[in-house]
Structures are given as C-alpha cells and as structure tokens.
Amino acid sequence: MTEAAHEAAARVRVKICGVTSAADAAACIDEGADAIGINLVAGTPRCVSIDDALAIRRSIEDRAEVAFVVANDPALRASLHRRLGEAGAWMQLHGDETPADVAELLPYAYKALRIGGPGDAALAATYPGQRILTDARAPGVLGGSGATFDWSLVAALARTRSLILAGGLTPDNVSAAIHSVHPFAVDVASGVEVPGAPRSKDRARVRAFIAAVRGAADVRAPPG
C-alpha cells in the first residue's frame, strides 16, 4: 500500500517550515505540528548552519518528522544523505534538482516544485518519489515568499501522490486550500511568523493555523 493510500482517510498533516531554534521547534510541536522544516539554503532569511540544524533535529527526538531544506548544493545533499536513515528525517530539494537527482536520494527525499501554471504542474508529476511539495512561483526566491498560487493546478496530483501544499498559507486561507486540493499535508513558514521577524515563529499564529487545519472538517480524497 502506498503512503497516499494508507493516509487517504487520515487528517491533514501540518509542517512548520523555516524553524531556526530548538525552542521554536518545541513550541510548534507542542501546538500540534507533525513535521518541522529546517532551512539550510545559504543566503535565505531562515537559513541555519548544518550544526545548528542537526542540534534542532536532536532536540526534537521522535516527537515529529524533520525535513532539511536544501537547494542546488550537491555536497550538502551527499553529506545529509548519509544521515537520513534516522527515523523521521527527510531532505526537501528546493532548487533546480533533476528527477535523477531525486531518484538517487530516495526514499528519504522529495522535490519541491514552484507552480505558476499548468506546465509547472505537469513537470511536478514527472519527479519520482511518493512525496512531493508544491509552492508558489515567485520572482527571485526559491520559497517562503508568502505568495499563493492557483491550487486547482495541483488537485489532480494530490490524488496520486502524498502532496505537501505550500505557498502563502495562513490561518485565514488554509481551510479553503484543504478543501480545494485535499493534500497529504500543508506547509507554512511566513504565515506563522512574528511580523517582520522571519527567524521567529509566532506561537499564537501557529496555534491558529493548526486549529484551522484541524477544523477544516475534511479528509483527503482517496488516490485515483
């Protein structure tokens, strides 16, 4: 049974991305987050060092999944790949990685694709692995832009893959996103941050976001 089939009737999972400290990770998990994303993309606002990322990972223990976010860095990919056998650790590839790059890292990796139109959605479907993340295509950034996209473009993909929906989600719009896409999980970064402070999570907004997800009164459509 695929992950998508196994989870078809389960609640939508919540991933809080761009976590930069063990304290924020613990707070997010205490509020009900299922997964934490830790950014290792140099030059981005939420980036942490690999040592800090691994320290956050250790602090979480087995309380939630962890995804290390990387982009266009083969050396870092190789270094992390040796550590991904530990339970709950994933690599989220957010750059220009090819399907072949992803295939080399399975089963503990998945591709993040930026969606701006039907062609991007079609490209996403060509990547291997059960999980896939879709984010908004925004000029000059790889992710975390706070921009949304046309969710209907990836609704069909969510019926066959464990789709993680990202891109401008907030406590105010995540319920509508769930009803539109029926994703495996939703992913949020800027939508639960302290205003003007991208390295700090606002616990009240995290709580509101997770409450909105749980209150969506929806289950994902079973895969086709």
Taking residue 178's Cβ as centre, other Cβ atoms within 10 Å add up to 23
- Which phi-psi region, left, alpha or beta, contains residue 129 (left: φ > 0; alpha: ψ -120 to 50)? left
Q: What contacts 133, CB < 8 A, 6 or more positions away?
A: 92, 110, 111, 112, 113, 163, 164, 165, 166, 187
CB neighbour list of residue 18: distance below 8 Å, 6 or more residues apart: 37, 39, 45, 46, 144, 189, 190, 193, 198, 199
Residues marked as catalytic: 17, 135
Contacts of 61 (CB under 8 A, 6+ apart): none
What is the gyration radius of the CA atoms in the chain, in angstroms?
A: 16
Question: What is the phi/psi pair of residue 85, to 5°?
Answer: -70, -20
Query: CA 83 to CA 67: how far, in whole Å?
Result: 12
Q: Find out whether 70 and 38 touch, Cβ atoms under 8 Å.
A: no
